[in-house]
Amino acid sequence: MKKKINIAVSGLNAIDSPGPGIAVIRALREAKSLDVKIIGLAYESLEPGIYMHNLIDKTYQIPYPTAGTDNLLARLEYINNAEDLNVIIPNFDAELFPMIKLESRLKEMGINTFLPTAEQFEERHKINLPDFGKRYNIKVPHSKAIYSTAEIGGLTDEFSYPVAVKGKLYDAEIAHTPEQVNTYYNKISSKWGLPIIIQQFIHGTEYDVAGLGDGKGNTISIVPMRKQYITDKGKAWGGISVDDKEIFKLTNHFISSTKWRGAFELELLKDHNNEYNLLEINPRMPAWIYLSVGVGQNIPKALVKLALGEKVEPYKEYAVGKMFIRYSNEMIVDVEEFHRISTTGEL
């Protein structure tokens, strides 16, 4: 009889810019080798995943990362006392560093994680990506961090328009003029703070790679896909699994060079020279991670097993030509449930 594994998962905001949580949970529910109880971790009372009772057994609200690690730890201790957690899977960039800092404390509580190291997390930041590319010999578009709108006028000394205007954690816009850069600078910095990253825009085809490294330089999984449909927020709403030796070469090089620990997403762009440019490294599973299940490589399942200290054999094959197509849906819920999560922080 399989042992019940209690897994806490964040990222339940299945909206137009979805978090990975629901896709991760679907993957875990379909893993035949696991018997799971899913505990949702939510920030807002209207995160749709809270009300998906077919996927999530119970949900608790947790404090935003800005509240500090002490508040987060206190809340996780409360949840652990009630649920006896075995694994936590955080799915937002902003919550990863606090979780990394708390990793040893969580371990003492019996809660396992499988996250990048603090050094890995820091060196792949957008602000550090040019240096990262030089250090590991990976092609990265020219980028620059700016801290004031006064720097916008001088961008033409280093960049040609259009340029990508990116927040330090989230959001990206394409600007064709200095005026647009100014608008996006104010919009993004008001949400995520400074700096703002300016990156040279490159025309080409966008690809994403979901993967998993064992922390020793070995590849557990690589699932590459080509974006088929992209929303106005820059999110992939449809994609197809592909077979490309250059993507595998680049991704294996990334994992072996950095000894990456945990899940990741590489955002790549294939330019007119058929060369791949690394646009971003996201240090967690992407929202489209359920495609990994569809092609035969259940990355969330493998990550849980690694977190529990189990030996995981690398995936060798996956199905090419499988597509994911995201869609919107409506749930009908009782307002009493909304009141309960809003007032008690539990549902």
107 exposure class (CB count in 10 Å sphere: 0-12, 13-18, 19+)? exposed
pLDDT (mean) for 323-342: 94
pLDDT (mean) for 281-287: 96
With vertex at residue 192, the alpha carbon angle to CA 188 and CA 198, rounded to the nearest 5 degrees, is 50
Residue 339 pLDDT > 70: yes
What pLDDT digit, counting tens, does each position of 120-158 carry?
A: 999 999 999 999 999 999 999 999 999 999 999 999 999
For residue 168, what pLDDT is reported? 86
What pLDDT digit, counting tens, does each position of 286-296 carry?
A: 999 999 999 99
pLDDT (mean) for 23-33: 96
For residue 134, what pLDDT is reported? 96
For residue 328, what pLDDT is reported? 85
Share of the chain above pLDDT 90, in %: 91
For residue 1, what pLDDT is reported? 66
Least confident among 37-46, 126-135, 165-174, 237-246: 165-174
For residue 123, what pLDDT is reported? 96
pLDDT (mean) for 160-187: 93
Residue 91 pLDDT > 70: yes
Distance CA 68, CA 72 (A): 7
With bands split at pLDDT 50, 70 and 90, how would you rate the model's confidence at 3? confident
Domain ranges of the chain: 4-113+330-344, 142-200
For residue 17, what pLDDT is reported? 78
| Fold that domain 4-113+330-344 belongs to in CATH | Rossmann fold (3.40.50)
pLDDT (mean) for 292-308: 98
Residue 324 pLDDT > 80: yes
Distance CA 129, CA 67 (A): 27
**Single-letter code of the amino acid located at 98:** P
pLDDT (mean) for 266-293: 96
Check if CATH label 3.40.50.300 holds for domain 142-200: no
**Single-letter code of the amino acid located at 210:** A
pLDDT (mean) for 72-85: 98
CB 173 within 8 A of CB 231: no
For the chain, give the mean pLDDT.
95
Q: Cis peptide before 178, with omega less than 30 degrees from 0?
A: no
How many of the other CB atoms lie within 10 Å of CB of 97? 18
pLDDT (mean) for 192-198: 93
Residue 20 pLDDT > 80: yes
What pLDDT digit, counting tens, does each position of 203-239 carry?
A: 999 999 999 999 999 999 999 999 998 777 667 889 9
Bridge-based pairing state of the strands 196-200 and 143-146: antiparallel
Q: Which whole-number Å values give the CA distances from 183 to 159, 174, 207, 320, in the listed order? A: 18, 11, 28, 41
